[in-house]
């Protein structure tokens, strides 16, 4: 029996033995939510540290190295600093929308994480329209950004929010079409089924040949733009807009926006791992009956590899102008995506997949 399964079954049986069925079920929901909140917080803190270490590596620096061994507690210290800071704002803000905006961003990211199968047993919500659900939930976050820019009553915040809306609407098309290309190959929207398809046939990026490789390249470009990462960080262009849409935010509310950016990067990387690189499956075909190396570790190794690739972009390419941003999407990525979708359909029709 798999170790995670035995632990969850033990907790399930214990709760139902000491509580009424309804209370035990609600308690299980609370425990699952607490586990995902902990994962959310730890992943966000670690990715901030990873970003700073990768940046230091590219620039031949050490990065954080004072708080804790090798600076591993630096982001915890930063988080405590943000929590303890005073929440300041101007007199002319729309208070209700100003306070509501960060929760749109952070909650949409948290809901999306619950869909991913970290292993066969570690998945909160296995829905049969998982890809569609992810696409819909990820679109909610931009509402929080638009609300933040509008309610701040600051021209820099408003410009950043409008840029975000423009960028998200544009690049969501390429993200969705590249995902649809892989859905066409697997014939399923359910994330667990997409991974099972790769158990016997190998990673989808290999099964789909050239169309799958093109879809992956487009997904990485569009996904980086979707998360407002460099070189597509026009929304938060510090040298132009102060801090962009969250210029007027401080303390914990600013931390919500900051944390959500890194969690969204984790989400994009997780989608790439599930759709192209086999999810929690071992690259060596030895996933069954392994207890000494959990499946979730394979998943996290692949996700971190994709995240480091996205961080690499930041220190390789200069920031695009708005006209270059739109030209890349509407004149190049979108037509290429449509042609690639047709090419994938031809590959499947001729049965050229592995």
The encoded tokens of residue 311 equal 């961080």
- Largest pairwise CA distance in the chain: 64
Cβ contact 171:326 at 8 Å: no
Ordered per-residue pLDDT tens for the chain, 354 residues: 344 555 677 787 888 888 888 888 888 888 888 888 888 888 888 899 999 999 999 999 988 999 888 888 998 898 888 888 888 777 888 889 999 999 999 889 888 988 898 888 788 888 889 899 998 888 888 889 899 999 998 888 898 888 888 888 899 999 999 999 999 999 899 999 999 898 888 899 988 889 999 999 999 999 999 888 888 888 777 667 677 788 888 888 888 888 888 999 999 999 999 999 988 888 765 445 455 567 888 899 999 999 999 999 988 888 888 889 999 999 999 999 999 999 999 999 988 876
pLDDT for 307 equals 94
- Residue 190, CA atoms < 13 Å, CB-side half-sphere: 9
CA torsion 219-253-74-299 (nearest 10°) is -30
The encoded tokens of residue 299 equal 């998943």
C-alpha–C-alpha distance, residues 283 and 189, integer Å: 23
Cα distances (angstroms) measured from residue 326 to each of 85, 138, 230: 38, 20, 15
Query: Which residue has 């423009």 as its token pair?
Result: 166
Would you list the DSSP string of 162-204? Answer: HHHHHHHHHHHHHHHHHHHHHHHHHT---HHHHHHHHHHH--H
Cβ contact 137:144 at 8 Å: no
Cβ count near 29 (within 10 Å):
11
> For the chain, what are the domain ranges?
1-84, 90-349
pLDDT for 2 equals 40
Q: Looking at beta carbons, which pairs linking 68-73 to residues 24 or more positions away fall under 8 Å?
A: none
Query: Which residue has 């090798």 as its token pair?
Result: 70
pLDDT for 1 equals 35
Can you give the pTM of this predicted structure? 0.89
Instruction: Kindly provide the b/e burial profile for residues 286-316, where b requires at least 16 CB atoms within 10 angstroms of the residue's own CB.
Output: ebeeeeeebbbebbbebbbebbeebbeebee
- Residue 232: DSSP 8-state: S
Cβ contact 347:208 at 8 Å: yes
Nearest alpha-carbon partner for 226 in 103, 142, 321, 333? 142
């Amino acid at each position: 029996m798999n170790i995670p399964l035995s632990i969850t079954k033990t907790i399930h049986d214990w709760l139902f033995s000491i509580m009424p069925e309804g209370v035990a079920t609600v308690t299980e929901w609370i425990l699952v939510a607490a586990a995902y909140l902990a994962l959310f917080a730890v992943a966000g803190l670690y990715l901030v540290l990873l970003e700073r270490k990768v940046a230091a590596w590219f620039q031949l620096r050490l990065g954080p190295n004072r708080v804790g061994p090798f600076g591993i507690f630096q982001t915890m210290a930063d988080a405590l600093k943000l929590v303890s800071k005073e929440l300041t704002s101007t007199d002319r803000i729309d208070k209700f929308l100003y306070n509501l905006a960060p929760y749109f961003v952070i909650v949409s990211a948290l809901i999306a994480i619950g869909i991913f199968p970290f292993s066969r047993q570690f998945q909160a919500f296995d829905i049969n329209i998982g890809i569609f659900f992810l696409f819909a939930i990820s679109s909610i976050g931009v509402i929080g950004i638009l609300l933040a820019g509008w309610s701040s009553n600051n021209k820099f915040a408003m410009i950043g929010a409008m840029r975000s809306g423009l960028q998200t609407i544009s690049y969501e098309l390429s993200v969705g079409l590249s995902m649809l290309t892989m859905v066409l190959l697997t014939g399923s929207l359910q994330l667990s089924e997409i991974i099972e398809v790769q158990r016997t046939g190998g990673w989808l990026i290999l099964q789909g040949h050239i169309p799958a490789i093109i879809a992956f390249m487009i997904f990485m470009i569009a996904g980086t733009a979707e998360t407002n990462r460099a070189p597509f960080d026009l929304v938060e262009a510090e040298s132009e807009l102060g801090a962009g849409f969250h210029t007027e935010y401080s303390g914990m509310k600013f931390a919500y926006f900051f944390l959500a950016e890194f969690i969204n990067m984790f989400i994009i990387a997780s989608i790439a791992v599930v759709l192209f690189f086999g999810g929690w499956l071992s690259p060596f075909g030895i996933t069954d009956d392994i207890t000494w190396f959990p499946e979730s570790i394979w998943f996290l190794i692949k996700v971190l590899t994709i995240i480091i690739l996205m961080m690499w972009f930041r220190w390789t390419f200069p920031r695009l102008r708005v006209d270059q941003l739109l030209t890349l999407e509407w004149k190049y990525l979108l037509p290429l995506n449509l042609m690639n979708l047709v090419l994938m359909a031809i590959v499947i029709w001729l049965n050229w997949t592995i």
